[in-house]
Amino acid sequence: MKAKDAILNFSKGLFNTLNSSMQVYEGMSNSSKGTGREECLKALLEACLPNKYSVIAGDIIDTQGNNSGQIDGIAIYSSAPLLKVPMSDVSLVPAESAGAVFELKSSLDSQWSQVVEKYKKIEPISWKPINTFFVKPKDSPKKETLSFHVISFNGYKKSETLKEKLDELIALSKKERTISIMTLNPPSIVLATEEMKTHIGPGTPEGVIGQWLSYVASDLDSYFNPKPNMAKYFNMAFE
């Protein structure tokens, strides 16, 4: 088997695994469905992304007082500082420790308003790139916005509709950031890079998952190991 065929088969297998794993939870309660699908996504990402990344659940906060609310998946460096809730898998994540947000939905058609509301909460989250706040190596550029990725079990029949939804999120953006929307049924992806150039991905399962994982990985690699000033967070709380 040629290398190209091996990669294509691998990508198609990943897509089918994620799709079937999410389908298993159809018919369950919203709570069970949400928890199960979050675990599926976490397992997929951690299996395909470099070991230096972890995917956790929790709230992202910044020193300006913003709070994202509950996030299905937050990509962080495995060694990033957190405020972890004891005896729980949930954490308060300083903005400097977060690289990307993953929002998981069953159906974009019925849950799009929830996606928009979540985006509005993460959009203002920011941090100040000054040396007293965290170390910023000269040779390691640090983006100052959170990437936002939406994954939905069910999408739209027309890819143009998906692009319209992406444009809606771009219109809400005050800063440039990477945004993607991937649907499993039908297989489709749209995304915008930090330069806000919209791309429509292929409609094959292997093409969709392969391109999406490629963009997620390259986007995360634009980050360096962050060092938030944790004292600043506690000082903010008690000022």
Query: Would you state the pLDDT for residue 223?
Result: 59
d(Cα 77, Cα 114) in Å, to the nearest integer? 27
Query: Would you state the pLDDT for residue 131?
Result: 41
Tens-digit pLDDT string for the chain (239 aa)? 677 778 778 888 888 888 887 777 777 887 777 777 778 878 778 777 778 888 888 999 988 889 999 998 999 888 878 888 887 778 899 988 888 999 988 889 999 999 999 999 999 998 754 443 444 444 344 567 889 999 998 899 888 899 999 999 999 998 888 899 999 899 999 988 866 677 777 688 888 888 888 888 878 876 544 555 555 555 555 55
Query: Would you state the pLDDT for residue 233?
Result: 56
Query: Would you state the pLDDT for residue 119?
Result: 96
The single residue listed with the structure tokens 């953006």 is 173
Of 126, 133, 220, 130, the C-alpha closest to 173 is 126
Query: Would you state the pLDDT for residue 53?
Result: 84
Q: Indicate the pairing of strand 67-77 with strand 188-192.
A: unpaired
Decide: pTM greater than 0.85: no
Task: Label each residue of 115-167 as H, E or C.
Answer: HHHHHHHHCCCCCCCCCCCCCCCCCCCCCCCCEEEEEEEECCCCHHHHHHHHH
